[in-house]
Amino acid sequence: MYHQLRNLVADARKAGLIVVVWAYPRGSGLPSKEAETALDVVAYAVHIACQLGAHIIKCKPPSALISLPENVKRNLYSQCLENLSTRVKAVLEAAFSGRRIVIFSGGEKKATHEILEEVRELKKGGAFGSIVGRNAFQRPFKEGVELLHEIEDIYLEG
């Protein structure tokens, strides 16, 4: 897939387009299903997307897990596990020290207070935004609009 992406990036650049990559690690190369959202794996996926030419990267919020054996052995990322905001900072560091736009997916449907707390942590960590379609559009219209306004208010604070 790296080769395919490289070709797509070249085509996009020739056409004057930006490149957006969904960096969702999957497959038999991971030690477990939980590793798909492990901090080290998400950070690596974002970094590879940057190296292959992405301008904007969408990824899942990283969990408080270090998954790859070499990272566990070397104690990498262990100082970043405390909360979502510190994990987000680590992912942004992997994105050419924050020089690329990283947007985090919203995941499964959650309660309003859970969504808003996650958005606060994402913002605190420096995220450029979060995708919340499922959580907004699977609610009654008025409730979904109110949620979107609350999320907008969080990102616009300060």
Active site residues per annotation: 24, 58
Instruction: Give me the amino acid identity at 91.
Output: V
H-helix segments, 52-101: 69-73, 84-94
Chain length of the chain: 158
CA distance linking residue 31 with residue 36, whole number of Å: 9
Pair 59, 101: CB distance under 8 Å: no
Of 71, 66, 49, 67, nearest in space to 58 by CA: 49
CA distance linking residue 108 with residue 150, whole number of Å: 19
